[in-house]
Amino acid sequence: MFKVMIVEDDNKIRDIIIDNIEKWGFKPIKIDNFDNILDVFVKNDPHLVLMDVNLPSFDGFYWCNKIREVSKVPIIFISSRNSNMDIIMAMNMGGDDFIQKPFSLEVLMAKVNAMLRRTYSYTDVESDVLEYSGVVLNLKDDTIIYNEEKLELTKNEFKIIYELMKQNGSVVSREKIMRRLWEDESFVDDNTLTVNINRLRKKLSNIGLNDFILTKRGQGYIIK
């Protein structure tokens, strides 16, 4: 799981960012004491830092410089200051990107995801989430998140949607899904699979995912 450290002294903004970080399946690391930011960084070893410029005691430029003494982790500055000098200072101090307040959460998370993709190979760091068309499957707690709504799945429902999302929009045969469900040695016949699929479809529709699982006659199932 990717860890994102949020260095922001406005509690309202910080909590909004944390909420979205969690919805994407990342682990947020928040700062409560702004005098020991480097200590928290070293202890938690985050994969990315979101750094405000205006902070108590020392500003974000100072802490960026201190982090750069020990790590090359990507740092995205978040600031209400938008002069060219501030942006140049952020880059010169070792920042990797700059986003101005007020910002769109969609833009912020797009930048976070893009930075993580560029910096780390998803095959090198085991991810705890699968994402497809805005649908996020959390592998740690068997839940699905879509449009900020969270849905808990049963063991079989999770196995079905996991197989479908893992194939990234390709058809998955009924036989392959049944083999996945049969791992726990509880026999699953063809009719049982149909019942599970229909129950899962109904559940997904409750969070706006209508027709997310499509039937390909004679082939199996696919997610759109």
Radius of gyration from C-alpha coordinates of the chain: 21
**Over residues 188-194, mean pLDDT:** 78
d(CA 31, CA 189): 51
Q: Which stretches within 24-170 are classed as H helix?
A: 37-44, 60-68, 84-92, 105-119, 155-166
**Over residues 160-171, mean pLDDT:** 91
**Over residues 196-218, mean pLDDT:** 94
d(CA 169, CA 151): 21
Is the pLDDT at 198 greater than 90, yes or no?
Answer: yes
Write out pLDDT tens, residues 8-56: 999 999 999 999 999 898 999 999 889 989 989 988 989 999 999 999 9
Query: Which residues, including other chains, have CB under 8 Å from residue 101's CB and lie 6 or more apart?
Result: 13, 78, 79, 80
Average pLDDT score, the chain: 88
d(CA 158, CA 121): 25
| pLDDT confidence of residue 188 | 62
DSSP 104: -
**Over residues 84-94, mean pLDDT:** 86
**Assessment of whether the complete model's pTM goes beyond 0.85:** no
| pLDDT confidence of residue 212 | 95
| pLDDT confidence of residue 83 | 76
d(CA 41, CA 38): 5
d(CA 184, CA 187): 9
**Tokens found for residue 134:** 């805005």
Q: Which stretches within 69-135 are classed as H helix?
A: 84-92, 105-119
Residue 97: CB atoms within 10 Å: 17
- Displacement of CA 176 from its chain's centroid (Å): 27
Domains of the chain: 3-119 (3.40.50.2300), 129-223 (1.10.10.10)
Q: Where do we find the tokens 């196995």? A: 159
Query: Which residues, including other chains, have CB under 8 Å from residue 39's CB and lie 6 or more apart?
Result: none
Is the pLDDT at 187 greater than 80, yes or no?
Answer: no
d(CA 71, CA 144): 34
Write out pLDDT tens, residues 97-142: 999 888 888 889 989 988 998 888 654 545 567 888 888 888 878 8
> Above pLDDT 90, what percent of the chain?
51
